[in-house]
Structures are given as C-alpha cells and as structure tokens.
C-alpha cells in the first residue's frame, strides 16, 4: 500500500488553505444573510461522496447512460421525500439552483414572448421573476406587480387588476426580500380569475413551510420552485414540485430543456436534507427562526430603525437605514467589519440604485441553526445598532467584533469544523 498522502492539504495546499480560512470565518462571524445557512455534517458527507463521478442524464429508469441502478435509488428517494414533505404529486430534484428551477418551469410551460406576471425586484422579487437584465425578462413578456406604498405589503387588489389587464399565462409569487407571509390562497383566486397557472417560488421560505411556520402553497400553487440551501439547510441546489398535470412539461423543462447531467452527489444531499426537514426537531427550528426574527426586528425598531412593512412574519428583516443617515452599502460594510454578515438591499420605491440600496436585509436562519435564541437576538440587535451609530469608528467596530466572536464561540456552527 502506498503511504503517499493524497489528501487535499498535500495535493493542493492553496485550495486547502482557502477552505480552512473560510471554515474559520464561518465559525467566527454572525452569518445573517437570510438566504444562507449551515448544511449538516450528514449533508456535507453526501455531497462530498463518489456520487459526483456518475453521469445520469435522464430520469430514474430512463437514463441515457448505463450503470445508474444505484444512483436511481438516491433520486427516487429524494423525489419521494420531497413529494411527502410538501404534499405534491410530482417532484423534480435535478435543478442546479433556484434560478435553474425557475427557468426550467418557464421553458417547459411557455413560448418566448408569452406574458407572465412576477414581483418587481425593488418590491422584494427575484431577478428571475422578469427583470430586464435576466433571461426571464429577455425571453418572456413579464409584467410586474409590487407592494402598497404605505403598508409595503403585497397589493393583491392591484395584482388582480394587472392580471385582468394583461391576462398572463403564468403568475409567479414569491420573493427574496419580503418580510411578510405570501397569501397563496389569494394568489390562486387571482390566477383562476384570468386562467393563469400559479407558480410559487418558495426559495426563501421552504424551510418555514416544511416546519409549519408559514402556510403551505400545496392546494393553491400548481407548481412550486425552491432552492434547497436556504431555510431548508440542504446542499446548494434547487427543486420543483407540481401537480401531476404539469409533471411532464416540468421534467422536460429541466432535461433536456435546460440542463444536462444531474449532480447525483447533490441529489443524495437533497435526500438527506429532506429527511432532516421532516422531523419535530426541524419544526422547532423553523418556528424559532421566525420568533428570533421578530425579537431582532423589535430590538432594531426600538433602537430607531424603520422596518420595511413595519415588522416581519418570516425569517428576515428588511431595515431602512436612511433614518440613521446611512446607505445600505455603508451600513452592510460596517457590519461586516464588526463580524456581522448581511447584505445591502433596495427597499420598496427606493431612491438609491441596487448597487447602493437604502436597506439592509438580515435573517435568522443560520444563527438559529447555531442554537441562538431570544437573549442572543436582543444582544445582536443592540450590537447592530451600535455598529450603525459608530459606522466610521474602526476602534469601536473592532471592539464589537470581539463581542461577536465571543458570542460565536459559545454556539457551534453545525457542519463547520471547530
């Protein structure tokens, strides 16, 4: 037997060093980007497995390559677990991301130029919901809806009016920077009124839905798309669920429509995540994520920040930092110096461009995965306020960073080596 060390550190010390430093960073910062989380050690083991070596174009039982009997079991398991967890007749677990999932649905259901309705980016929508710089906005005739100027909550009456005017073939609901629940029942009524298919992009809230902390789209949305690494805590990837009537078109939209070989290692990781998300422990996690966001929001509001929509019902808080004389970008950069990682974001009707933004988007999925609770949320809210008050004082930011690192040292980050 050869005794040569073929581990990463020996084969490629440069990449090994990058990974070790990222490991340290993930341990030592408060990760508060609402779309990030910690995949479990079991998920990481599955995605780091030899399943990465297998080509499996097609679907279980109908592949274009030999030797797929074993990986078929992984994909069938992931599909069955996804169907059971979200209560849909069909699942496709091959999309490489939430964006790929959305594009595959469009390809499977629409022709170029067809009319689709989606939420505006500055109201909290996603690039793939028809933004002009994105393929969705270039290939399809997207018309948009947004939020009410006063309440900053989705204006469903206006959504109905816009739908009646443009008669979209597909109505897309779901958001990336929207702190309120989505009313899937109301959206379905609007879709029915104009004979549209309803697609719910639940990427941000899929973990909350799995854990019963947000109403389900099942029974309302004909098709649901999601990424798998946000509140769901799985590997980086996407998936689609749908009623049986849409199964063939959705599958063809993924393969051969927009993807080649699926990543079987990632699909195995999705199967593990879907089993983890179907537990009482995960239900508790989902509810704690939402209650933690509420405590954080209240602390920030009490400290003088304006909360978009006046609060939160989900895992995320969108704060308008302009009352403190800051832009989103300046505020998010100061937070990072202090070890609190968020992202700057536009707010509804923003006068700043997306490259600057008037808001900071922050979320509780990752810090809740570390086991932090109400006391820590109050403490973190106060640290954030101190950062904003002292955004240009590097000494104070460094002292806050020491408090952040102490807090992080008390709560292990799942799946991240100590």
Characterize 81-112 residue by residue with b for buried, 16 or more Cβ atoms within 10 angstroms of its Cβ, and e for exposed: bbeebbebebbbbbbbbbbbbbbbbbbbbbee
CB of 121 to ligand DSN, least distance (A): 11
CB of 151 to ligand DSN, least distance (A): 22
Environment class of 170 (CB within 10 Å of its CB; exposed 0-12, middle 13-18, buried 19+): buried
Count Cβ atoms below 10 Å from residue 354 Cβ, excluding itself.
13
Whichever of 68 and 231 has its CB closer to ligand DSN, that residue is: 231
Whichever of 126 and 386 has its CB closer to ligand DSN, that residue is: 126
DSSP-derived pairing of the beta strands 90-92 and 115-119: unpaired
CB of 130 to ligand DSN, least distance (A): 14
Tokens at 96, concatenated: 């490489």
Whichever of 241 and 247 has its CB closer to ligand DSN, that residue is: 241
Long-range contacts of the stretch 208-211 (C-beta < 8 A, 24+): 208/286, 208/289, 208/290, 208/314, 208/315, 209/86, 210/85, 210/86, 210/277, 210/278, 210/282, 210/286, 211/277, 211/282, 211/283, 211/284, 211/285, 211/286, 211/287
CB of 35 to ligand DSN, least distance (A): 3
Whichever of 58 and 328 has its CB closer to ligand DSN, that residue is: 328
User: Smallest Cα–Cα separation from 223: which of 246, 189, 207, 248?
Assistant: 246
CB of 238 to ligand DSN, least distance (A): 10
Whichever of 92 and 231 has its CB closer to ligand DSN, that residue is: 231
Binding interface with ligand DSN (CB under 6 A):
35, 126, 176, 203
Contact 21, 356 (CB under 8 A): no
Whichever of 144 and 176 has its CB closer to ligand DSN, that residue is: 176
Contact 350, 149 (CB under 8 A): no
**Which 3 state secondary structure label does DSSP give 360?**
strand
Nearest residue relative to ligand DSN (C-beta): 35
User: Smallest Cα–Cα separation from 153: which of 180, 187, 185, 117?
Assistant: 180
Nearest-angstrom CA–CA distance, 119 and 117: 7
The CA–CA distances, whole Å, from 340 to 71, 116, 161 equal: 40, 38, 42
Whichever of 36 and 389 has its CB closer to ligand DSN, that residue is: 36
CB of 176 to ligand DSN, least distance (A): 4
CB of 57 to ligand DSN, least distance (A): 26
Whichever of 33 and 42 has its CB closer to ligand DSN, that residue is: 33
CB of 346 to ligand DSN, least distance (A): 13
């Amino acid at each position: 037997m050869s005794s040569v060390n073929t581990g990463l550190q020996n084969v490629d010390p440069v990449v090994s060093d990058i990974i070790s430093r990222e490991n340290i960073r993930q341990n030592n910062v408060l990760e508060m980007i609402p779309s990030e989380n910690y995949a479990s050690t079991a998920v990481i083991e599955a995605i780091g497995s030899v399943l990465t070596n297998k080509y499996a174009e097609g679907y279980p039982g109908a592949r274009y390559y030999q030797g797929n009997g074993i990986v078929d079991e992984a994909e069938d398991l992931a599909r069955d677990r996804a169907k059971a967890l979200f209560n849909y007749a069909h699942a496709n677990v091959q999309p490489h991301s939430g964006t790929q999932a959305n594009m595959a649905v469009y390809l499977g259901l629409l022709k170029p130029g067809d009319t689709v309705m989606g939420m505006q980016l500055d109201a909290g929508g996603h690039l793939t919901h028809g933004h002009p710089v994105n393929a969705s906005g270039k290939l399809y005739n997207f018309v948009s809806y947004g939020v009410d100027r006063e309440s900053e909550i989705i204006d469903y009456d206006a959504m109905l009016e816009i739908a009646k005017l443009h008669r979209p073939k597909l109505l897309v609901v779901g958001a990336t920077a929207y702190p309120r629940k989505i009313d899937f029942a109301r959206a379905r009524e609007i879709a029915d009124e104009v004979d549209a298919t309803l697609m719910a992009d639940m990427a941000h809230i899929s973990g909350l839905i799995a854990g019963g902390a947000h109403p389900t789209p099942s029974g309302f949305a004909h098709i649901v798309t999601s990424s798998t690494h946000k509140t769901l805590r799985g590997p980086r990837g996407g998936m689609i669920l749908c009623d049986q009537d849409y199964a063939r078109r959705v599958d063809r939209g993924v393969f051969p429509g927009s993807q080649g070989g699926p990543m079987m290692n990632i699909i195995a990781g999705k199967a593990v995540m879907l089993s983890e998300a179907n537990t009482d422990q995960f239900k508790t996690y989902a509810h704690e994520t939402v209650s933690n966001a509420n405590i954080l929001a209240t602390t920030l509001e009490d400290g003088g920040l304006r909360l978009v929509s006046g609060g939160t019902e989900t895992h995320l808080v969108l704060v308008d930092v302009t009352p403190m004389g800051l832009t989103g970008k300046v505020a998010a950069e100061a937070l990072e110096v202090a070890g609190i990682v968020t992202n700057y974001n536009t707010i509804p009707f923003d006068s700043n461009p997306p490259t600057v933004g008037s808001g900071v988007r922050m979320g509780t999925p990752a810090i809740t995965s570390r086991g932090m609770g109400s006391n820590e949320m109050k403490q973190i809210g106060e640290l954030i306020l101190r950062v904003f008050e002292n955004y240009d004082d590097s000494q104070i930011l460094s002292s806050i960073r020491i408090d952040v690192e102490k807090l992080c040292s008390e709560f292990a980050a799942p799946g991240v080596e100590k």
